[in-house]
């Protein structure tokens, strides 16, 4: 099933303990689209400025991504973000954010983008997410990401947006902030309880610790793929979302969202995110192959499997 993603397309300047880049292709929609492109056609919706050129478009086109809904704003500048990571890559400081063309972004989707059966609303203002959601009437599966800023200043709209999609993908700290619950499981269950029609799922991104999936039926947890060196965590969450949503989109239309399917989707998201962080920006995922992804998914399965042997209880039935 084709996938439409709406979100930021950016240039990032990033410094990590392993080096720095002054200007590289980034943004949530870019990281998502590259990851999801292994599974079906991805249609990107978002604005860019005069500084966004053929070189950047070619990175996307080379993965078969439909760039026709990338809106070139004449005289504008592309969204720019500068950040620096600490020693262990768990802390990140934003040094500069220039919204550029994103400041007046009003998403308008072509017929093709509206018709996609799968929709991902990357982290943007929740009213914009809702406006896009309303344009896509044929969607069979919609997911959204958000951030602490919108919880702070637009919580009501964000809650409405969440209730209009099938899946919320959020960092665990943001999930706890959103629900004012100190505990991941109870926070996710609170989000599920908001849904008028029941159902749905919540994916909690746990950073270096992996991700958890909470549905009304149960709980699933998968660790991050262990790496000796993480070069640049930027975009890991969106790469995860691209793999997760992309794997769901790879199923035949009408497939049921079974627990088995969602769990495999979690594994694909985890695998692609782990490649994303092996190099700066999009460098690694842009040259990634499907064979590498499936090999890592199989390794993840081996790393999390254990057998339950009936414990004989040396000390009897205590």
Residue 108 in the binding site for a copy of itself (CB under 8 A):
no
Count CB-CB contacts under 10 A for residue 2. 16
> What DSSP string describes 210-229?
-EEEEETTEEEEEPPPP-S-
Among the candidate windows 120-128, 160-168, 275-283, 297-305, which touches a copy of itself by CB under 8 A? Answer: 297-305
Q: Which of 23, 25, 28, 19 is nearest to 46 (CA)?
A: 28
Q: Which helix (H) or strand (E) holds 95?
A: strand 92-98
User: Is residue 118 close enough to count as binding a copy of itself by CB under 8 A?
Assistant: no
156 contributes a contact to a copy of itself by CB under 8 A: no
Residue 101 carries which DSSP code? G
Angle of helix 184-194 relative to helix 172-179, nearest 10 degrees? 60
Total of chain residues touching a copy of itself, rule CB under 8 A: 64
CA distances from 271 to 118, 274, 288, 289 (A): 21, 5, 11, 12
How near is the Cβ of 219 to a copy of itself at its closest, in Å?
Answer: 5
Nearest approach in angstroms of CB 45 to a copy of itself is 20
Instruction: Determine which residue in the list 65, 191, 248, 297 makes contact with a copy of itself, applying CB under 8 A.
Output: 297
Q: Name which of residues 198 to 257 contact a copy of itself (CB under 8 A).
A: 206, 208-210, 212, 218-223, 226-230, 247, 250
Sign of CA dihedral 291, 297, 299, 305: negative
For the CB of residue 309, give the shortest distance to a copy of itself in the complex, in Å. 6
CB of 46 to a copy of itself, least distance (A): 22
Q: Does 43 bind a copy of itself (CB under 8 A)?
A: no
CA 280/CA 18 separation, integer angstroms: 9
Instruction: Examine residue 91 and tell whether it contacts a copy of itself (CB under 8 A).
Output: no
Ramachandran class of 235: left when φ > 0, alpha when ψ lies in -120 to 50, beta otherwise: left
Residue of 38, 79, 81, 105 that binds a copy of itself (CB under 8 A): 38
Nearer to a copy of itself, 14 or 266 (CB): 266
Taking the alpha carbons of 229, 231, 232, 236 in that order, is the dihedral positive or negative?
Answer: negative
Smallest distance, Å, CB 250 to a copy of itself?
Answer: 5
The kind and range of the H/E element at 128 are helix 126-135
Among residues 54, 55, 88, 94, the one that binds a copy of itself under rule CB under 8 A: 88
Rounded Cα–Cα distance for residues 135 and 120 (Å): 13
Cα–Cα distance for residue pair 113/67, rounded to 1 Å: 10
Tell me the window of 39-47, 48-56, 107-115, 127-135 that interacts with a copy of itself (CB under 8 A).
39-47
CB 88 to a copy of itself: min, Å: 4
Q: Which is nearer to a copy of itself, 99 or 303 (CB)?
A: 303
Contact partners, residue 56, CB within 8 Å, separation at least 6: 25, 48
| 195 near a copy of itself, rule: CB under 8 A | no
Choose between 14 and 267: whose C-beta lies nearer to a copy of itself: 267
Q: Which is nearer to a copy of itself, 149 or 298 (CB)?
A: 298
State the residues that interact with a copy of itself by CB under 8 A: 17, 37-41, 63-64, 87-89, 176, 182-186, 189, 206, 208-210, 212, 218-223, 226-230, 247, 250, 260, 263-264, 266-268, 289-290, 294, 297-298, 301-315, 317-318
């Amino acid at each position: 099933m084709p996938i439409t993603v709406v979100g930021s397309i950016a240039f990032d300047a990033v410094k990590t303990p392993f080096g720095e880049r002054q200007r590289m292709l980034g943004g949530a929609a870019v990281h998502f689209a590259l990851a999801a492109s292994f599974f079906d056609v991805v249609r990107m919706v978002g604005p860019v400025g005069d500084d966004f050129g053929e070189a950047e478009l070619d990175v996307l086109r080379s993965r078969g991504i439909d760039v026709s809904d990338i809106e070139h704003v004449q005289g504008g500048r592309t969204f720019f973000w500068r950040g620096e990571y600490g020693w262990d890559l768990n802390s990140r400081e934003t040094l500069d954010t220039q919204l550029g063309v994103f400041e007046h972004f009003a998403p308008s989707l072509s017929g093709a983008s509206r018709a996609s059966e799968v929709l991902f609303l990357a982290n943007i203002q929740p009213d914009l997410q809702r406006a896009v959601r309303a344009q896509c009437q044929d969607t069979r599966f919609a997911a959204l990401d958000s951030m602490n800023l919108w919880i702070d200043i637009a919580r009501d709209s964000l809650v409405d947006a969440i209730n209009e999609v099938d899946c919320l993908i959020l960092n665990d700290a943001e999930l706890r902030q959103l629900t004012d619950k100190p505990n991941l499981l109870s926070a996710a269950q609170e989000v599920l309880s908001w849904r008028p029609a029941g159902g749905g799922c919540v994916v909690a991104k746990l950073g270096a610790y992996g991700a958890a999936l909470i549905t009304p039926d149960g709980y699933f947890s998968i660790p991050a793929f262990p790496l000796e060196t993480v070069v640049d965590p930027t975009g890991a969450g969106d790469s995860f979302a691209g793999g997760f949503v992309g794997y769901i989109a790879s199923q035949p239309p009408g497939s049921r969202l079974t627990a088995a399917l969602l769990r495999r989707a979690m594994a694909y998201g985890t695998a692609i995110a782990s490649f994303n962080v092996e190099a700066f920006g999009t460098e690694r995922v842009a040259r990634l192959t499907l064979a590498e992804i499936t090999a890592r998914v199989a390794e993840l399965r081996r790393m999390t499997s254990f057998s339950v042997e009936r414990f004989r209880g040396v000390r009897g039935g205590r």
